[in-house]
Amino acid sequence: MADVRASPSQAGTADARRTIRWDVPLAVAAGGAIGSLARYGLAVALPATPGEFPWATLLANVGGCLLIGALMAALTEAGRPHRLLRPFFGIGVLGGFTTLSTYVVEVIDAGAAGAPGVVVLYGVGTVVAALLAVAMGLILTRAALRPHIRRRKPS
């Protein structure tokens, strides 16, 4: 997080100023707040008790994975995206929206509530659906962007 910068006259000397760059952590924090609030809203809209199928968390994780695939495809296809886009959206918003901890707790709670079907279907289904969602986000976004991207000349 610390960034050591020196003016041209100070380059290579021990007098280089030490500055801290706060833009990336602030972008992640702001995005994380937005993503977490969105996931909370989804959990309020689709509540589940232990043993019931946790649709809100499944939708957050699979939807977030679809969006992270789309975001990564868009950023890699873009010429020079703003350097804060990935920290804000990828780590912040989508990191706050998706949740591994809630997923694990819900699998454990379903087992404790005597719902082995939910444990297997939700436990395995989430992982498979999330991986497929990332792939679909990448594939669909690249296909959608392909006609709009100028062909780069080989070097």
Which range has the worst mean pLDDT, 33-37, 91-95, 144-148? 144-148
User: For position 20, what pLDDT does the model report?
Assistant: 76
**Rounded to 5, what percent of the chain is helix, strand, coil?**
70, 5, 25
Identify which of 12-16, 61-65, 143-147 has the greatest average pLDDT. Answer: 61-65
What are phi and psi for residue 4, nearest 5 degrees?
Answer: -95, 125
Whether pLDDT at 147 is above 70:
yes
Which range has the worst mean pLDDT, 8-17, 32-41, 133-142? 8-17
pLDDT band at 71 (very low <50, low <70, confident <90, very high): very high
* The token pair that represents 101 in the structure block: 């901890």
Mean pLDDT of all residues belonging to the chain: 88
User: For position 52, what pLDDT does the model report?
Assistant: 92
Q: What is the mean pLDDT of residues 83-110?
A: 96
Whether pLDDT at 10 is above 60:
no
* The token pair that represents 72 in the structure block: 């990564």
pLDDT band at 15 (very low <50, low <70, confident <90, very high): very low
Q: What is the mean pLDDT of residues 36-59?
A: 95
CA–CA dist 154, 16 (Å, integer)? 39
What are phi and psi for residue 148, nearest 5 degrees?
Answer: -100, -5
User: For position 4, what pLDDT does the model report?
Assistant: 46
pLDDT band at 6 (very low <50, low <70, confident <90, very high): very low
Helices (H), 46-115: 55-77, 85, 94-97, 100-112
Q: What is the mean pLDDT of residues 128-139?
A: 98
User: For position 129, what pLDDT does the model report?
Assistant: 98
Q: Give me the residues paired with residue 53 across strands.
A: none
Q: What is the DSSP string of 70-89?
A: HHHHHHHHSSS--TTHIIII
